[in-house]
């Protein structure tokens, strides 16, 4: 069942066979044969971005909102190097991507040919795996293998480097079913012994907490469903990382809110004071742990992760459970039920949590004259609640406020650059999400500085009629940088002003989109509704309080129970040994 065809045709055929419907890309000399094949078919839609970084972020948005791998296509040299930030972003957030890059013909490799770059060398540390294909006969099998690697185990980005002569040459096409199976088959089911041990811990914990992350979402909607079942049946409290929001619904009765550096007081205090911590698909990132030595000092720690290298990397755990979240949760539920659905009395723990909640850590000083960023997000939440809504963000204060003030009821609805913290992620990601969900409301909560990093994508949004809403919380500052300078560098605001900002309304209009500016809290609701109701891309320039700080905050080098709650105690908040930390 093999067929002869050119390498370029194979790429398109393999994508079809892998069920790909959308490719984000940008052409150039070294990928012209593939573009020629794309031109001659209608099954796969190619989305022309305006910068290769945006192609990768758009593919990430597509992947995170659908659960399918995102696909991107870039040319050699500068095309590939422009993709590096996106690949690194996807690697740190474990997002499955298959990226194709053009390369100079095999006989020119190593000669510093025009637009030659050592793409394999450059992307080796920022992909899960990459391949240089030198033989057209091996191309289709490599592509199938690439999809397997990107989506199996801990997902991640992979790259295939395609020399131009390999694209032109004829070779034998191997369909996915015939392709050699990879030896890469990470374990998905945990040992029954580990499951039993975990259930035994669940049965006797008095102060338990679930700490969940992006791994739950990566494991698929079924995993989120099982998580809800387990959390609700045990009645345990649950918190999540930035990456995991939506796996458990914000309206659920166990929900404590996000944890970590800008997480909720009750969530961090529960982490600090618990006697059983069940980490499911999270990785004890430094944004979460605060000072390692004081991290949750009195708890038994369980870590469920598909990647063995995550175990004991940062925090030593008592019970590692290596496996896929969905499989593990299924087994835990089965065993826990069969042993009689036992839990200890957690009412005293809940009472304690309620007291922490009373602190109402998200309280901010309201204003009748300026729009507080928190208020803007509260209104956005109120006015879009219950809608078929997806949210992406850029990176900065607005991102943290979005995580604090927007509520997510379902997985795959929230796309943000967590691990790499890539300014410029949100706008292209929102386009990727919108193209995967044409009828849904897609909002990018942005900071003005981040947004400018990929603003060229207005062209893409217009061309593909992606009605993405760019909700810019414009504080005319690199707000998060400014906040750190205030806390740590004696209010010397070195280069943290957003100078010479464009007129965002005119900018929108220049692209043929709609621009809205709002600066008065009284006009905000109407303006937001106007944004939502407009059928097309909107740039919403929301002028907000310029020097608002994002709280709560665990300063670098501090423990969970040393959170800053408001503007009062910011002086000297970060000690010198914490200052080296970012």
Partner 1 sequence: MSALRIQQGSTSHSAYDLRDYHAEVIEKHTLAVLVDNEAGVLARVIGLFSGRGYNIESLTVAEVNHDSHLSRITVVTTGTRDVIEQIKAQVGRIVPVHEVHDLTVEGPSIERELALFKVEGTGNNRIEALRLAEIFRANVVDSTLESFVFEMTGTSEKIDAFAELMRPLGLVETARTGVAALARGSHV
Ligand X SMILES: Cc1ncc(C[n+]2csc(CCOP(=O)(O)OP(=O)(O)O)c2C)c(N)n1
Residue 395 binds ligand X (CB under 6 A): yes
Cα separation of 264 and 140, whole Å?
48
**Active-site residue, 164 included:** yes
**Active-site residue, 483 included:** no
Q: Least distance from C-beta 457 to Mg ion, angstroms? A: 18
List the catalytic residue out of 10, 13, 37, 52.
52
Residue 478 binds ligand X (CB under 6 A): yes
Alpha helices in 297-396 (DSSP H): 325-338, 347-358, 373-384
Q: Which stretch binds ligand X (CB under 6 A): 127-135, 206-214, 305-313, 394-402?
A: 394-402
For ligand X, give the closer residue by CB, 141 or 548. Answer: 548
Residue 422 interacts with, from ligand X, partner 1, Mg ion, none (CB under 5-8 Å by kind) = ligand X
Residue 480 binds ligand X (CB under 6 A): yes
Question: 455-474: which residues touch ligand X (CB under 6 A)?
Answer: 473
Residue 447 binds Mg ion (CB under 5 A): yes
Cα separation of 519 and 526, whole Å?
12
Q: Which stretch binds ligand X (CB under 6 A): 108-116, 117-125, 129-137, 447-455?
A: 447-455
For Mg ion, give the closer residue by CB, 420 or 481. Answer: 481
List the catalytic residue out of 9, 164, 514, 558.
164
Residue 313 interacts with, from ligand X, Mg ion, partner 1, none (CB under 5-8 Å by kind) = partner 1
Residue 421 interacts with, from ligand X, partner 1, Mg ion, none (CB under 5-8 Å by kind) = ligand X
Residue 120 binds partner 1 (CB under 8 A): yes
Tell me the sheet residues that pair with 172: 4
Cα separation of 550 and 565, whole Å?
9
Cα separation of 525 and 518, whole Å?
10
CA dihedral 193→199→203→205, nearest 10 degrees, is 100
Q: Is 575 helix (H, G, I), strand (E, B) or coil?
A: coil
Residue 56 binds ligand X (CB under 6 A): no
**Active-site residue, 206 included:** no
Q: Least distance from C-beta 53 to partner 1, angstroms? A: 22
Q: Least distance from C-beta 95 to partner 1, angstroms? A: 17
For partner 1, give the closer residue by CB, 27 or 153. Answer: 153
Place of tokens 């390692």: 292
Residue 479 binds Mg ion (CB under 5 A): yes
Is 543 within 8 Å of 515 (Cβ atoms)?
no
Q: Least distance from C-beta 370 to ligand X, angstroms? A: 15
Q: Least distance from C-beta 136 to partner 1, angstroms? A: 17
Residue from 151, 152, 240, 422 touching ligand X (CB under 6 A): that is 422
**Active-site residue, 480 included:** yes
- HEC sequence for 180-218: CCCCCCCCCCCCHHHHHHHHHHHHHCCCEEEEECHHHHH
Please, is 39 exposed, middle or buried when counting C-beta atoms within 10 Å of its C-beta (0-12, 13-18, 19+)?
exposed
Residue 371 binds ligand X (CB under 6 A): no
Q: Least distance from C-beta 152 to partner 1, angstroms? A: 10
Which tokens belong to 235? 């009645």
Cα separation of 302 and 328, whole Å?
12
User: Helix 373-384 to helix 524-533 angle, to the nearest 10 degrees?
Assistant: 50
Question: 531-570: which residues touch partner 1 (CB under 8 A)?
Answer: 557
Residue from 327, 372, 477, 560 touching ligand X (CB under 6 A): that is 477
Closest of 90, 107, 167, 156 to residue 133, by C-alpha:
167
Residue from 108, 109, 359, 579 touching partner 1 (CB under 8 A): that is 579
The CB-side HSE value for 257 (13 A sphere, CA atoms) comes to 26
Tell me the sheet residues that pair with 77: none
Is 444 within 8 Å of 389 (Cβ atoms)?
no
Residue 183 binds partner 1 (CB under 8 A): yes
Q: Least distance from C-beta 60 to ligand X, angstroms? A: 15
Q: Which stretch binds ligand X (CB under 6 A): 15-23, 97-105, 478-486, 519-527?
A: 478-486
Residue 293 binds partner 1 (CB under 8 A): yes
Residue from 7, 281, 320, 396 touching ligand X (CB under 6 A): that is 396
Measured on CA atoms in the order 134, 137, 139, 141, is the torsion positive or negative?
A: negative
Cα separation of 34 and 185, whole Å?
30
Closest of 284, 289, 286, 328 to residue 306, by C-alpha:
328
Q: Least distance from C-beta 415 to partner 1, angstroms? A: 25
Q: Least distance from C-beta 487 to Mg ion, angstroms? A: 17
Residue 184 binds partner 1 (CB under 8 A): yes
Residue 316 binds partner 1 (CB under 8 A): yes
Cα separation of 415 and 271, whole Å?
24
Residue 296 binds ligand X (CB under 6 A): no
Residue 450 binds ligand X (CB under 6 A): yes
CA angle 34, 96, 2 (to 5 degrees): 45
Tell me the sheet residues that pair with 354: none
Residue 494 binds partner 1 (CB under 8 A): no
Cα separation of 47 and 78, whole Å?
19
Cα separation of 164 and 532, whole Å?
45
**Active-site residue, 114 included:** yes
Catalytic residues: 52, 114-115, 164, 480
Contacts with Mg ion by CB under 5 A lie at: 447-449, 475, 477, 479
């Amino acid at each position: 069942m093999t067929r002869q065809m050119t390498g370029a045709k194979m790429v398109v055929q393999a994508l079809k066979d892998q069920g790909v419907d959308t490719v984000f890309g940008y052409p150039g000399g070294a990928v012209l044969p593939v573009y020629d094949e794309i031109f001659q078919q209608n099954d796969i839609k190619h989305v022309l971005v305006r910068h290769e970084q945006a192609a990768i972020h758009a593919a990430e948005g597509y992947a995170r909102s659908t659960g399918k791998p995102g696909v991107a296509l870039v040319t050699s040299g500068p095309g590939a190097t422009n993709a590096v930030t996106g690949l690194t972003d996807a690697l740190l957030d474990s997002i499955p991507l298959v990226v194709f890059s053009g390369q100079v013909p095999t006989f020119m490799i190593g000669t510093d040919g025009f637009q030659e770059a050592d793409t394999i060398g450059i992307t080796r540390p920022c992909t899960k795996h990459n391949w240089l294909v030198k033989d057209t006969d091996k191309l289709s099998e490599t592509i199938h293998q690439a999809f397997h690697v990107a989506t199996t185990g801990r997902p991640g980005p992979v790259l295939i480097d395609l020399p131009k002569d390999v694209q032109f040459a004829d070779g034998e096409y191997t369909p996915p079913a015939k392709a050699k199976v990879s030896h890469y088959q990470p374990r998905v089911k945990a040992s029954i012994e580990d499951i039993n041990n975990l259930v035994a811990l669940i049965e006797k914990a008095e102060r338990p907490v679930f700490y969940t992350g992006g791994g739950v979402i990566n494991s698929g909607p079924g995993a989120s469903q099982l998580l809800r079942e387990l959390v609700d049946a045990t009645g345990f409290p649950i918190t999540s990382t930035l990456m995991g929001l939506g796996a458990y619904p914000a309206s659920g009765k166990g929900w404590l809110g996000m944890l970590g550096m800008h997480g909720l007081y009750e969530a961090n205090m529960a982490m600090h004071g618990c006697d059983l911590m069940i980490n499911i698909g999270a990785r004890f990132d430094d944004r979460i742990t605060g000072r390692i030595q004081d991290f949750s000092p009195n708890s038994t720690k369980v870590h469920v992760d598909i990647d063995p290298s995550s175990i004991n990397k940062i925090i030593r755990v008592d019970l590692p459970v290596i496996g896929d979240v969905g499989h593990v949760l299924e087994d835990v539920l089965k065993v826990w039920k069969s042993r009689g659905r036992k839990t200890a009395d957690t009412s005293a723990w809940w009472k304690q949590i309620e007291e922490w909640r009373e602190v109402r850590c998200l309280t901010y000083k309201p204003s009748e004259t300026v729009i507080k960023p928190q208020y803007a997000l509260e209104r956005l939440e109120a006015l879009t609640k219950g809608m078929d809504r997806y949210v992406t963000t850029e990176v900065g204060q607005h991102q943290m406020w979005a995580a604090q003030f927007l509520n997510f009821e379902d997985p795959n609805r929230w796309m943000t650059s967590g691990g790499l913290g890539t300014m410029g992620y949100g706008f292209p990601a929102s386009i990727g999400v919108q193209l995967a969900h044409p009828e849904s409301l897609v909002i990018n909560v942005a900071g003005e500085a981040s947004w400018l990093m990929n603003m060229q994508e207005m062209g893409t949004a217009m061309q593909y009629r992606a009605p993405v809403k760019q909700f810019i919380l414009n504080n005319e500052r690199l707000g998060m940088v400014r906040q750190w300078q205030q806390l740590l560098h004696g209010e010397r605001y070195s280069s943290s002003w957003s100078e010479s900002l464009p007129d965002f309304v005119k900018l929108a209009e220049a692209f043929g989109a709609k621009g809205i500016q709002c600066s008065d809290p009284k006009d905000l609701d109407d303006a937001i509704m106007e944004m939502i109701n407009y059928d097309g891309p909107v740039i919403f320039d929301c002028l907000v309080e310029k020097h608002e700080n994002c709280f709560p905050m665990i300063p670098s080098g501090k423990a969970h129970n040393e959170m800053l709650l408001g503007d009062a105690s910011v002086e000297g908040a970060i000690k010198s040994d914490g200052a080296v930390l970012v």
